[in-house]
Structure 1
């Protein structure tokens, strides 16, 4: 059985730890201290770090972790590695459609280039044995929302979300921020008659009331209520007087930036 645990960091970040037996893979470890404490408490040995993009809250813990575990491999795209302020060691450069094996956990990861939030942003897809597939998508897709455009264009982000939307419907979505309730508030503005949003919001409020993550979500659930994955719907395009999915995405993302 493979386990994925959320390690809370900063105000609303989640550092994901995928572990099996005593081996672990870390995703976007921005804070070494909380990661080290978790690994020690659960007697886990990290074998690799997956980096989705270069922002500080996703990479700042890496140097200290590599100092403690010198053999720790880092998977990162070339563009994101070049933008980090750290000299990362033992880097394995990934790119779109690349596949790599992690023999310590007997897993294979597929890389998706998903530019938009940053230009070199990638996501990691993995079909866990006898479990649901998982996607570590950083700040590209959030539950009920998507990331801001700091470097890429609206068209790039739209295409990145379209790429994610082709994955199996039962894919578990592991994004890296607890933004769900704020995203659902906006989603309800976009589709006030969508009952899936209302029902999911009640469930998420109950989770947050006891300080539990609303994540992971599933791609199937996101297709039902995330406005950025519903831009191809003619009814939604008509409601907001947009000609096509790309135009609707741009309209919604600009609206959310001001919301």
Structure 2
């Protein structure tokens, strides 16, 4: 199957996964215009997967359903997503033509956030980013860390298809946490080069994220040491390490 993405808004991605016949799964279409433009070039929407309720991930769905009323919309069990035709829960399996996905509950960014895992891909919305993670709008540090650890446990070759193009800014923070991480330096350099050429920096892989993303590395000695310096003491556990990393990132300016 062919994986691609449609840029939306300033930095969103609408992920697309198409079979040989051109039937396409849309993931988190926050606006309809990029999909309409792609449809004029042959894209054939067949289904929609939604990871969470934020408008920049679901805002285009009503217009898409108006044009293609038979589209199935798979979404978390959340009343804030009124366009869902199928509600999904942790452990559910979703089949769209030949593609199969397992639903993982990954709360933290929002209370009902889910990820879709299958076809060697994780569509993770705003839970896990390339070299970063989402803000905690509706969850606790313990919830968010557990969600990230759940994603991190997937196969290392899994493609990380996140909702935004944040790699360059996330790299600046990650380097502040782990300035001696050689793999991270390589990722940061590569991301800058890709953006300079007008190219996407995602998908990454989970192996890359485990090696470079500080939010997946709360047990790494260098990350714990960086947090210890900020706290003025040894962090109690990985949850406190994560919580301080997230607070640090929230106020970070490169």
Please give the alpha-carbon distance, in whole angstroms, between the structure 2 residues aligned to 1:196 and 1:159.
24
Please give the alpha-carbon distance, in whole angstroms, between the structure 1 residues aligned to 2:173 and 2:95.
39
CA deviation digits over 1:30-88, x for unaligned, max 9? Answer: 111111111221x2321110000111110110011011111100000112xx124xx41
| Partner in structure 1 of residue 25 of structure 2 | 25
Q: Is 1:230–2:233 an aligned residue pair?
A: no
Q: Is 1:258–2:251 an aligned residue pair?
A: yes
Moved over 6 A (4+): none
Aligned partners of 2:177 and 2:226 also within 8 Å: no
Please give the alpha-carbon distance, in whole angstroms, between the structure 2 residues aligned to 1:33 and 1:150.
28
Please give the alpha-carbon distance, in whole angstroms, between the structure 1 residues aligned to 2:226 and 2:109.
27
CA RMSD of aligned residues (A): 1.1
| Partner in structure 2 of residue 88 of structure 1 | 83
Deviation at 1:150, TM superposition (A): 0.8
* Uncovered stretches (5+) of structure 2, i.e. residues with no partner: 229-234
Equivalenced residue count is: 245
| Partner in structure 2 of residue 68 of structure 1 | 67
Q: Is 1:183–2:170 an aligned residue pair?
A: yes
3-state DSSP class of the match of 2:188? helix
- Pick from 106, 113, 123: which aligns with 2:105? 113
Please give the alpha-carbon distance, in whole angstroms, between the structure 1 residues aligned to 2:103 and 2:68.
25
| Partner in structure 2 of residue 139 of structure 1 | 126
3-state DSSP class of the match of 1:47? strand
Deviation at 1:178, TM superposition (A): 0.5
TM-score, length basis structure 2 = 0.94
Aligned partners of 1:233 and 1:245 also within 8 Å: no
| Partner in structure 1 of residue 51 of structure 2 | 52
CA deviation digits over 1:75-118, x for unaligned, max 9? Answer: 00112xx124xx415x101011111222x2x1111000000110
Please give the alpha-carbon distance, in whole angstroms, between the structure 1 residues aligned to 2:226 and 2:28.
38
TM-score, length basis structure 1 = 0.92
| Partner in structure 2 of residue 207 of structure 1 | 194
- Pick from 95, 98, 103: which aligns with 1:101? 95
Q: 1:242-253 to 2 correspondence within 5 Å?
A: 242-253=235-246
Deviation at 1:239, TM superposition (A): 4.0
* Uncovered stretches (5+) of structure 1, i.e. residues with no partner: none
Range that drifts further, 169-178 or 242-251: 242-251
Deviation at 1:6, TM superposition (A): 1.2
